Structure 1
Amino acid sequence: MDFVPDSDHQHHDDAPPAPQLDDIKIEHRPHSRIPSTVHPFSEFSRRRPTEDTIPRSTSPWEPFRTRLDFEVAEITLAASMTKDQTNRLFELMRRAVSAQEDFTLQSHDEVRTLWKMASKRFTPFETSTISVPHQGEDHEYKMYSRCLWSWALDLMRDSRFAPHFTFDAQRLYKFNGARVMRFIDEPWTANAFWDAQSRLPQDAKPLAFILYADKAKLSSFRTAKGYPIIVRIANLPVEIRNGTGVGGGRVVGWLPIVKEDPKHSKKKSFVNFKNAVWHKSFLKLLEAVILHSKNRYWFECWDRVQRLLWPLILILSADYEEQCVMSLIRGLKGKFPCPVCLVPQDQQSVLSDVHPLHTSTESLNILNAARSTSTQKEKEQQLKVYSLRDVENCFWKVSHCDVYRALSFDHLHSNHAGMWGDHLWSDLQFWLEDLGREAAVKIDMNFDALPRWRNLKHFSHVVGIDFNDGSTHEDISKMIIFAVQSVLSRANSEVGYLLLCCIRCYIDLDIYAALEVHTEDTIAAGRDALSQFSTLMDLYIEKSHPETNKNWNFLKKHLLTHLFDDIIAKGVTRNYNTKPNEKMHGPLSAIYHQQTNFKDVAPQILRYDHWLLTSLSIRDEINDLDAYTDNLKATIDSEPDATESPEGVVNTAARVQLGARQGDFSFADIEQSHATDRAFFGFRIKLNQFLNDSLPNDAIPLPNETRIRFQACDQITEFRYLRVNYESMVNWHLQRDLLRCNPKFFGSPRYDCVIIKTEHQLFFARLIYMFRCKVGVTELSIALIHPYDVGIGVRCRQDLDLGLWRVRAKPRSSSEFVFVDSIIHGAALASDPEAVNDYFVIDTIDTDMFLRIKALQDSSGLRFRHQ
């Protein structure tokens, strides 16, 4: 590759410069005519500046007459106020409004009229009637949809989002000092986008859609359901695409739900009928996309550049049941139950085998061949061989779309609610129950003792409790090893312990699946984790059967074989995870309860959702206008005089920052208030010694060149909060840990653990006390810590089997001082109930910590043995 020049030529004048560590190379699809570029890592950014963008309007609240009118109407809409409540509020507003701004709204009916007018800025919903025959009778259903193509063009006209569109496929590489390494994150950095664009005319720019569909529970008792279709644009970055703003996921369709008929339910003809209704309805949403996938569409974008747009259905995001409908396979009872490949039903548990893939072309040919046979029975037999249904697939009509390649790994349902929640977790509870009630009590106590961490649920009871939420299952799986390792051992349950080793492999695999950026190395490591998991599971199944009476030949296990192929093809799993889409079901349910009369609810829900989109868009424009006005005013107010330097000073945030100031305390007060804590013995004397030793090493002069001797009456300032910024090992972006050192944080002590890096070593420690003190004119931020850096020696087999990184605490009296700047990361540590002063680093709290501990294990030459 030309990114790393040959050493024999790198000194020639015409040779490219030698790459520097972390340089980024961007390679574009050849016939895009965009040359490859190399960027220093510090200059590589996906974000395009928008701060200088001039607002689209100086009165973005129109058609509302005043800004106040809109802002009051905005509240009534967001609060789902009734007609009477709205009218009463308006009456009070007219009585209380100041003379500075007019409030002119009169009634609920008037504000509804204004919302209708304002909502014309977005592509509206339309109602279509479809007719599908069954049992000699035509059945009609209503399909609600907005033109998918027009909705996408709405975003491309919007100067807030249009600059963020990426139209050309890219391949990204990073130089790690030894070799060039490809990395993948967004859809346009993966292979499917690249391959699709290569099949298009040379000037064509893919406009790639991500589509999701699933039934949504509207009422609490599941008696009322909706069937939304949600769309996202794959050309937009994930922060926008998966966000909740105007550029994020949007409901664009509402499929009809066929009522079950007791006479025909579960019969083949009725199941085919329901699938035909789905595909004929979905076809209405795709009409414009189908048209433009066959014919070019020139469009003048917001920057006044004409682009030849070409629609792609790049990703279909759905759970398994919905994927069966999208692909028109026969599901779990079919001979080939996988929507992606032709794995035989009895071979789903074998993860090492590779099977032929479904293709749209082959399926269409099979259907046409079957329909040409003379009898209904022969047709059915031919289709049954391939597990296909006698229904035409709406996605077949979209050019450059293979529905089976668009179907994507569903991380939420396949792993968290499926492989873990339905299988590994239920089997683990079987073995724990076999150990008796005392074991369950210990595990619940261990869960409760685990440290609290941001974005991670804290559990006090898990054993014997049924959970049906995928996110809850995910959090339990992340913590399970640390809570169970002291209870379930090889000695008291050999097969149960083997399952625990399987679970550790599953957790590794699940975290690799969640990475926000994948490199060639992480994909290889993920595949290795899958192989280890497969091997261990085969051994566990052999040893546990028939004791657990469990059939491990199920589809969600097999779907893991497609995980890394999907990442290479379509980018990381958050590009197609169903989780962001399922979160949108909640607001739809709220609209159902608060804004409908519970009859013919679809048009009522969609109208209100459309108004909420309109309100959100107007609010964003008002915020942009306010920010622009404030910046303009600040520029005028800060215009430098002729005598002053025009150069501004950039105030960059510190990497670490103390917060929650408690006040000033003397050394005598501190030592007295912590008199029973051995960590504070000799606090002042130890601090004097630390500073006298450390400051000269850091080239900070001692005041008056004399040793520091703090007196008992001297004061320091205590802090109980620490913000640490660090570069993520996953996506190389700046991340932040929020750490506490507080004797009473929400009623309980919280002293977080940290990773400290000094000149000679990296080690773990617990925060004890944080403060600032002055040495001469220099103000220093310092932390008293409890080091966890006692040598472990030879690590035990269980730690290796379960991938545990053990650290050991020094006596508390061996507390040390460190400069706060030496703290590079927060950490969560779980105590080992079987070994006083021993702790395990919880590497599963997030993807970054997972990779950090993997690096520590690799540098120590340790591997998980799982023997």
Structure 2
Amino acid sequence: MDLEATALPTFQLDSDGIPPPSEQEETGEVGPMLPAVYLLSVPHPKDRKHTFSEVISLSHPKPPSDIADLEARHLENMLDAARPWAPWESLADFGYTETAVKGVLSKEIIDMQLKGFSGPWSNEGGSKITLRDYKDYKFYLEKARVVGVQFLNANVEAELWGEPKKYTFYYRDPWEWILSLVTDPGLARVSQWQSRRLYYCENGQMERYVHEPFSADCWNDVDSELPPANPFMHCWLPLHIWLDKGLVTSHVKMFPIVLRALWLPSEIRNASGNGGGVIIGFMVMVDDPGHPKDRTERQNYAFAQFKREIYQQSWFGEPVRCGDEVVRNLYPGFLIESLDFEEAWNFTCCRAGRAKHPCARCLVSQEMLDCLGQAFPSRSSKAMKKVVEKARSAPTAAQREKLLMDHGLHDVPHFMWNIRFSDPYLAFIYDLLHFLESGKWGHHLWSLTLDILEKLGLLREATVRMAKFSRWRDLKHINDLATKDFTDGQTHLDILKCIVYILCEILPPKSTLIPCIRALLKCRMLLGLRVMTTSRQTVAQQYIEEYEQWCKRVSENYGKNFKFPKQHFLVHALDDVRMKGVLRNGTTRTGEGTHQEISVRDEDQEVVARTRLLIDDFFKQASRTGEQSDATGDSENSKKAVDAAQFKQGSARRIPKSRISPAKGENQWIFGSPLQHGDSRSYEDLHGGDDPVYRSLDSRLRDFLHSQYPDEYLGYEDTIMIEVFRCVYLEYQSKDDWTTAEDILRCHTNWYNSGPRYDCVLFNSDQPSIACARLRSLIRCELPSSRVVDLAVVQNMKHSKWRPKTSWDGCVVLEEEGNLTFLLMDYVIRGALLTPAEGPPNSRNRFHYLVDAVDGDMFLRVLNATGHVCN
């Protein structure tokens, strides 16, 4: 969710761009105008359209109805603007077409049905389907085959060893694509035209934070440099460019170049459909005419420079009336480049990994690649352009070559040097997927870990322990660690989140490998947050320095060499956050739906399949958790009647109607999967003999309810009706980005025929440390007074002083208590993942580790509970 969309009060800016405090605030009391905890959004001084600061309240566990209404309208605007079902007029039209194509319906049947929908079958036009007949049906299918800006082609030429080479380059005109976005009325409503400064405010303290690119420094600096309105506003249009060599196939000898519009919300630009990432061209694959070993070093250098010349030849503010009818002077430029290192070296015309200065961002030397606490001279368009010009004017070839080598450059002018507000070196962003998950971890530390486990004969034991790791909805369950050929970064990340809990009990005591992996995981968790405050950046810098120190220890103990470019690039990660917003803005993980454009065939089945991918991809990106939304359009067939809930995971879930209606009011939980209904005594008689959860249920329940509700008189003869459930959907306010998130928790005796599953929860208690309990049952009670109470039967967890062979910063060990107690659902905060620990001798499987890396919210909760301060 875009936080800017839910702003309520507005304030006239003072000289610093901050709203004045109320009189009560000056006396230490919170006045009615400003909440106790809030977010502050301050527009850029040159923003003529927004001259007020905006405040978003965070003081309520659930947002007031007016905020919820604003959020709903915002998300409706998102879907209306994205229109992933285009060119169909509505989601209902596409839904019918998809059904008809998959069902291979005849022309006669389709014509009959559509005429019925638009006529007598729907109260003479009451259907949400706007298709009228078979002619309309075929019209939109044909139209869907030709969507968006069309491809052009051009030839690029260069000479290699005296022989001319020619390549054909396929591309779309980027400016034509940009114009199609800025002139779209739907997209104009959700576009961010100028930068803002954002602050987290609590207890009179303000802390800046960044998330989207408009909140970071680079956009702010460009806005400050642009001239004031004269009479039209001057607006920067930052772009995200992504080159993905991984999409090359035996049929496609070029790899796609994807552009995204960073002035659009991430829900739109990272998905598919209108405003989403678009393949702007296909970069030529330059085949090697021989083998590098058969050439001299000079010949290899000539071939590398030849490839970069082909790259550079493949590329190509004016006032525009935008979709909101406002005329703006637009300045497109490149803010983010998402590239792997090989692509980055080609793209920036830098020399490769064995060069004297192998980084595309700075002039770090080979021998300093493992130094993460030191800054190095930055590359810039101005500086690198001077180097190339000076090299070309050198009196001898040797002097020219030395100058280029000293700066790690090829003699190729970069096309971005002449594009204002675009720097090819600064735009190269730290990619968590390639550089950390698949890079430092997947290709280096994980490979080292497997080698160590094999040498010690511990790989089988580690595999068995990993297979027993507790399940979690957003965590892949790994059954076979011995499989070395994990190719996707998500699997590498899931192993990274779990492996410390496996290694800590089987590796020799005080192993340096465990704290090194843990330090890398802590870096990944903070750098992967959706919002980055100043205090989070401070802690992240400490983690990077800690990781560097443990890498040195691992090098000493295991001989691992950390002098490689992806290790070094961690130096630039926090600079990227400050300049461009959080790192997820430049990840190569998003926008997979755009890939389908490569293989679309001119057939009805392919058209509907592609459109379905676009729709699903949009809902996936719009979902808070990043998972696929359950909303498929079956019940929401009009883009003008969209409920905000469909953007959240589980929103379209079909929850069976319970026998006891839930209490009225805004609860943060919903019970699902009802089991049985009856009175408490009968339930105890039926199940108390077999299940300790229900032994003496009636008396224990009456005592608990009386302690919680003294005004309720519960006589022995009074009947308490109960209904037992096996699932709860639990909403909470995420500490990561302060928006609403959701857990789905189970308490089941035989979950999917794989044995019992009893998930755990965090709950509010009087203790300063984290309070955790295991769900054993979910019960809804209806009292004689008609009061309805939702509660859980839980086994509490107490903090243990026991530690594994090798502990780590943030290690939380919990011991499961034997007694069962009741817990009101009002006290439950969110779900928690606990995984078994071996514990001390004869511990009988009662010890567990609290896994803090399941998501950013849990990581921050545990981090702050263990003595850190990180807002």
In the TM superposition, 1:83-162 aligns within 5 A as 90=107, 93=110, 103-104=133-134, 114-115=143-144, 119=147, 122-162=148-188
The answer on 1:726 being equivalent to 2:744 is: no
Question: Deviation per CA, 1:657-679, whole angstroms, max 9, x where unpaired?
Answer: 11112231343344543424334
Structure 2 CA distance for aligned equivalents of residues 798 and 65 of structure 1: 62
Equivalent residue, structure 2, for 1:359: 380
Structure 2 CA distance for aligned equivalents of residues 429 and 610 of structure 1: 42
Structure 1 residues 107, 740: closer, same or farther in 2, change over 3 A? closer
Structure 1 residues 348, 671: closer, same or farther in 2, change over 3 A? farther
Shifted more, 426-435 versus 134-143: the winner is 134-143
Pick aligned residue for 1:390 from 400, 407, 411: 411
Question: Deviation per CA, 1:153-209, whole angstroms, max 9, x where unpaired?
Answer: 212222322111111111111212152100110001000111112122223111111
The answer on 1:831 being equivalent to 2:833 is: no
Equivalent residue, structure 2, for 1:195: 221
Structure 1 CA distance for aligned equivalents of residues 789 and 321 of structure 2: 55
The answer on 1:820 being equivalent to 2:825 is: yes
Pick aligned residue for 2:677 from 635, 640, 664: 664
Pick aligned residue for 1:572 from 547, 565, 582: 582
Structure 2 CA distance for aligned equivalents of residues 60 and 486 of structure 1: 49
Equivalent residue, structure 1, for 2:570: 560
How far the C-alpha of 1:18 sits from its partner, in A, is: 9.0
Equivalent residue, structure 1, for 2:782: 774
Structure 1 CA distance for aligned equivalents of residues 366 and 541 of structure 2: 23
Equivalent residue, structure 2, for 1:251: 279
Q: Which amino acid aligns with 2:407?
A: Y
CA contact (8 A) 1:217 1:585 kept: no
How far the C-alpha of 1:777 sits from its partner, in A, is: 3.1
The answer on 1:455 being equivalent to 2:474 is: yes
In the TM superposition, 1:787-806 aligns within 5 A as 787-792=795-800, 794=801, 796=803, 800-806=807-813
In the TM superposition, 1:426-505 aligns within 5 A as 426-436=447-457, 439-463=458-482, 465-490=484-509, 494=510, 497-505=511-519
In the TM superposition, 1:354-753 aligns within 5 A as 354-436=375-457, 439-463=458-482, 465-490=484-509, 494=510, 497-545=511-559, 550-581=560-591, 583-584=592-593, 587-588=596-597, 591=600, 626-628=638-640, 653-666=666-679, 667-696=681-710, 701-702=711-712, 706-709=713-716, 715-748=721-754, 749-753=756-760
The answer on 1:209 being equivalent to 2:239 is: yes
Structure 1 residues 143, 304: closer, same or farther in 2, change over 3 A? same
Structure 1 CA distance for aligned equivalents of residues 610 and 305 of structure 2: 32
Q: Percent identity?
A: 25
The answer on 1:807 being equivalent to 2:835 is: no
Q: Secondary structure at the match of 2:185?
A: coil
Structure 2 CA distance for aligned equivalents of residues 76 and 455 of structure 1: 35
Q: Which amino acid aligns with 1:401?
A: S
CA contact (8 A) 1:788 1:807 kept: no
Structure 1 CA distance for aligned equivalents of residues 31 and 566 of structure 2: 49
Structure 1 residues 623, 786: closer, same or farther in 2, change over 3 A? closer
Pick aligned residue for 2:43 from 28, 34, 39: 28
| TM-score normalised over the length of structure 1 | 0.81
Q: Secondary structure at the match of 2:512?
A: helix
CA contact (8 A) 2:236 2:331 kept: yes
Structure 1 residues 245, 720: closer, same or farther in 2, change over 3 A? farther
Question: Deviation per CA, 1:818-838, whole angstroms, max 9, x where unpaired?
Answer: 222221111110111234311
Structure 1 CA distance for aligned equivalents of residues 440 and 677 of structure 2: 54
The answer on 1:348 being equivalent to 2:369 is: yes
Q: Secondary structure at the match of 1:719?
A: strand
Q: Which amino acid aligns with 2:714?
A: R
How far the C-alpha of 1:98 sits from its partner, in A, is: 6.3
Q: Secondary structure at the match of 1:790?
A: strand
Equivalent residue, structure 1, for 2:57: 41
CA contact (8 A) 2:815 2:847 kept: yes
Q: Which amino acid aligns with 1:827?
A: A
Structure 2 CA distance for aligned equivalents of residues 404 and 66 of structure 1: 43
Equivalent residue, structure 1, for 2:129: none
Structure 1 residues 708, 740: closer, same or farther in 2, change over 3 A? farther
Q: Secondary structure at the match of 1:161?
A: helix
Structure 2 CA distance for aligned equivalents of residues 613 and 720 of structure 1: 34
In the TM superposition, 1:832-847 aligns within 5 A as 832-835=837-840, 836=843, 837-847=846-856
Structure 2: tracts of 5 or more residues without a match: 1-15, 59-65, 119-131, 619-630, 644-663
Q: Which amino acid aligns with 2:210?
A: I
Question: Deviation per CA, 1:376-426, whole angstroms, max 9, x where unpaired?
Answer: 443223211211012121111211211111110011010000100111111
CA contact (8 A) 1:780 1:819 kept: no
How far the C-alpha of 1:224 sits from its partner, in A, is: 4.2
Judging by fraction of residues, say which structure has more helix. 1
Structure 2 CA distance for aligned equivalents of residues 801 and 166 of structure 1: 43
Question: Deviation per CA, 1:214-264, whole angstroms, max 9, x where unpaired?
Answer: 224354xx5644311111111112222222332221111112222221288
In the TM superposition, 1:276-355 aligns within 5 A as 276-281=309-314, 283-284=315-316, 296-355=317-376
CA contact (8 A) 2:732 2:741 kept: yes
Q: Which amino acid aligns with 1:767?
A: L
Equivalent residue, structure 2, for 1:267: 300
How far the C-alpha of 1:719 sits from its partner, in A, is: 1.1
How far the C-alpha of 1:484 sits from its partner, in A, is: 2.0
CA contact (8 A) 2:199 2:207 kept: yes
How far the C-alpha of 1:607 sits from its partner, in A, is: 14
Q: Secondary structure at the match of 1:49?
A: helix
Structure 2 CA distance for aligned equivalents of residues 306 and 331 of structure 1: 45
Q: Secondary structure at the match of 1:580?
A: coil
Structure 2 CA distance for aligned equivalents of residues 611 and 481 of structure 1: 39
Q: Which amino acid aligns with 1:381?
A: K
Structure 1 CA distance for aligned equivalents of residues 809 and 210 of structure 2: 29
How far the C-alpha of 1:65 sits from its partner, in A, is: 12
CA contact (8 A) 1:655 1:725 kept: yes
Equivalent residue, structure 2, for 1:290: none
How far the C-alpha of 1:801 sits from its partner, in A, is: 2.3
CA contact (8 A) 1:300 1:306 kept: yes
Structure 1: tracts of 5 or more residues without a match: 80-84, 285-295, 597-604, 632-650, 863-867
CA contact (8 A) 1:66 1:103 kept: no
CA contact (8 A) 1:360 1:403 kept: yes
Q: Which amino acid aligns with 1:626?
A: S
Structure 2 CA distance for aligned equivalents of residues 194 and 32 of structure 1: 11
Question: Deviation per CA, 1:696-731, whole angstroms, max 9, x where unpaired?
Answer: 2xxxx21xxx334377x8642111111111100010
Structure 2 CA distance for aligned equivalents of residues 240 and 779 of structure 1: 44
Q: Which amino acid aligns with 1:570?
A: K
CA contact (8 A) 1:218 1:589 kept: no
Pick aligned residue for 2:208 from 169, 182, 185: 182
Structure 1 CA distance for aligned equivalents of residues 211 and 92 of structure 2: 43
* CA RMSD of superposed structures (Å): 4.1
Structure 1 residues 716, 9: closer, same or farther in 2, change over 3 A? closer
Structure 1 residues 443, 802: closer, same or farther in 2, change over 3 A? farther
Structure 2 CA distance for aligned equivalents of residues 505 and 788 of structure 1: 30
Q: Secondary structure at the match of 2:153?
A: strand
Structure 2 CA distance for aligned equivalents of residues 655 and 572 of structure 1: 29
Structure 1 residues 309, 678: closer, same or farther in 2, change over 3 A? same
Shifted more, 66-75 versus 405-414: the winner is 66-75
